[in-house]
Structure 1
Amino acid sequence: MSADRGYHHGDLRAALIEASFDQLADGGLGRFSVAAVARRLEVSSAAPYRHFADRDHLLSAVSGAAARNLREAVLAAADAAGSDPAGRLAAAAGAYVRFVTRTGAGFHVIFAEELYQIPDDARREQTRALISTLLDLATEAGAASHDEALLLVEATVAVAHGYVSLFADGFFARNGRTLDSIAARATEAAHALVPTRS
């Protein structure tokens, strides 16, 4: 087998994106590089550049995939939560915890500052769809305006990302907390954020 492990032209691009999630989950955004992803796949250091001009272009593709996959996870969690609008929005927090713990690709990756200069319409379409879905859930949960919905989404994601960070840092390890229990706690905390209307 060649140094590129026999990947065909169309397969390596997808493999690089998939391996990027593993790299992010293991090393975080700060240690993310094209070379690290190539090593993970055991391909030559030049191979990724057939598909991506540089680190930011690879990260942009990962961002778009992450936004799409997170949106799908949020929608599935909301549907599983039933018809209660507050519960449907809160379920997004649990979905976020599970997704980011598994992939390392939270909002800090999906909306990484270095990506704003990359002209990637596919990524922008996926990130817009993700935010629109979250805003719709916030509006259905009782947000009275676009600005209020945006603040509610921001707070929901902040709570969820906080649980992700604490879990990753081992904060819950002494209590033997599982990922599912942390996702449930994030969901409960996010539910408390939803305004009650008289």
Structure 2
Amino acid sequence: MSKRDSYHHGDLRAALVEAALALIAERGIDALSVAEAARRTGVSAAAPYRHFPTRLALLKAAATRAAELLAEGLREVQEPDPVEALAATARVYVRFVVEHHAGLDLIFAEQLRPLADPALAAAGRAVIDVLLPIALALTGNPVSALDLLEQHIAAAHGYAVLHLSGFARRRTPDVEMVATGAANVSRALAAAFRG
């Protein structure tokens, strides 16, 4: 692959972020490296450092892009019933984590907190901005809504990770079956929290 075939019109930054997301999907967050992202993008090992001076800077950009993609997927849920809307977001989240091998664990990664990056914070808020109104419609108060979201996300993330690890694949090899399991748990949580 030539350098020109890997990215075009000088959008090396975006190409590196996409390569970083692909690396995370294949090998996990800890395996991300600027040098490997450069290799996959078809540029010299030094080229990325104009955009990403450190691995952490590239990780931040990948987390920001992941949050943007997740928020886009969540916004596609158009279910008027809040119980079904919550269940639908569980499905979206499971599919996202299975595809990208990361979710809110990347978007809100502890190692990124010291950066206090406005773009990452805004992208993370966009995810919560989709979920919070659904939880508020179910619970009627902010404290309960946050408790519901914490359990909802934990269940959906757990289903996705158990599928990725192979544990859940023995019984439910299809990601849609896993997403259905997460959606069913979200329905039960919604019923328990309904105000």
Q: How does 1:1-198 map to 2 (within 5 A)?
A: 7-8=7-8, 10-76=10-76, 78-79=77-78, 82-140=79-137, 142-175=138-171, 177-194=173-190, 195=192, 197=194
User: How far apart, CA to CA, are the structure 2 residues paired with 1:174 and 1:120?
Assistant: 40
User: How far apart, CA to CA, are the structure 1 residues paired with 2:60 and 2:111?
Assistant: 9
User: How far apart, CA to CA, are the structure 1 residues paired with 2:135 and 2:3?
Assistant: 49
Deviation at 1:5, TM superposition (A): 5.1
Superposed CA deviations along residues 53-86 of structure 1, whole A, max 9, x for unmatched, are 211111111111111111111121x21xx32111
CA distance change for structure 1 residues 197 and 168 in 2, over 3 Å: closer, same or farther?
Answer: closer
CA distance change for structure 1 residues 65 and 193 in 2, over 3 Å: closer, same or farther?
Answer: same
**Is the helix fraction higher in 1 or 2?**
2
Deviation at 1:163, TM superposition (A): 0.7
The unaligned stretches of length 5 or more in structure 1 are none
CA distance change for structure 1 residues 176 and 132 in 2, over 3 Å: closer, same or farther?
Answer: closer
Question: Secondary structure, in 3 states, of the residue corresponding to 2:10?
Answer: helix
CA distance change for structure 1 residues 68 and 125 in 2, over 3 Å: closer, same or farther?
Answer: same
Question: Secondary structure, in 3 states, of the residue corresponding to 2:90?
Answer: helix
What TM-score do the two structures reach when normalised by structure 1?
0.89
Residues 7, 41 of structure 2: 8 Å contact kept: no
What TM-score do the two structures reach when normalised by structure 2?
0.90
Question: Secondary structure, in 3 states, of the residue corresponding to 2:56?
Answer: helix
Q: How many pairs were matched up? A: 194
User: How far apart, CA to CA, are the structure 1 residues paired with 2:119 and 2:194?
Assistant: 38
Residues 21, 100 of structure 2: 8 Å contact kept: yes
